[in-house]
Amino acid sequence: MNPAPTTPDELLTATARECLAVLGKGADQDWSRPAGDLDWSCRTTLDHLALGLVGYAGLLVARPADRYITLFASLDPQAPVAACLEGVGIAATLLATTVRSTPAEARAWHAWGHSDVTGFAAMGVVELAVHTYDITRTLGLTWTPPDAPSAAAVARLFPEAPSGHGPAETLLWCAGRVALPGLPRRTGWQWDGTPRGAQEEGSGAQRPAAVPSST
């Protein structure tokens, strides 16, 4: 049995593995349908995942202070879904490898808070988990995000998260996907990637103002 993932890159890799496994079960379905409640199709959502994961890796490499990077990744629009899933797996591996090799003190720009390696790894977990949930709803596949990566992502990016609920359900609530007992589904949300506590020392980062999100 493989040891449970604990480091940021391991949690990201474990999430990608689970997401790609379940999405592969529906690869022969119609991916032109909207992904969950998104305006994007399931296929477009895969493109968004590739763009985001490679973009986070690029931000950690270039470490800009005030802008997004100039590299944009996309999947072959003519490729079958199974091959596109391979592309998302490559993007996740690029981010995990970059997280593992980047110094802990490094900081890079993000619109939702200048962040560090743990922050960008957690962003990758959120993107993969939440959008896989969106797609599986459309494909009729029962799936929830894995608990350990969900708990780590919530702890790192959502300081306002409620307690007393399962990690996967809490992550989905934070991302505006589900309601929780006594808590309605959120209509606007974002994470805060700004390092906190010991991570924040010397970063000089400013926390972002909350805005609605359709991610």
The model's pLDDT over 155-199, given as tens digits with 9 standing for 90+, comes to 999 999 999 999 999 999 999 999 999 999 999 999 999 998 644
Encode the chain in three state secondary structure: CCCCCCCHHHHHHHHHHHHHHHHHCCCCCCCCCECCCCCCEHHHHHHHHHHHHHHHHHHHHHCCCCCCCCCCCCCCCCCCHHHHHHHHHHHHHHHHHHHHHCCCCCCECCCCCCECHHHHHHHHHHHHHHHHHHHHHHHCCCCCCCHHHHHHHHHHHCCCCCCCCCHHHHHHHHCCCCCECCECCCCCCCCCCCCCHHHHCCCCCCCCCCCCCCC
- The pLDDT score that the predictor gives to residue 3 is 72
The model's pLDDT over 82-140, given as tens digits with 9 standing for 90+, comes to 999 999 999 999 999 999 999 999 999 999 999 999 999 999 999 999 999 999 999 99
- Average pLDDT value for the chain: 91
* Confidence (pTM): 0.91
CATH match of 8-200 with 2.60.40: no
User: How far is 100 from 93, CA to CA, in rounded Å?
Assistant: 10
b/e burial code for range 144-165 (CB count within 10 A of at least 16 → b):
bbbebbbbbbbebbbeebeeeb
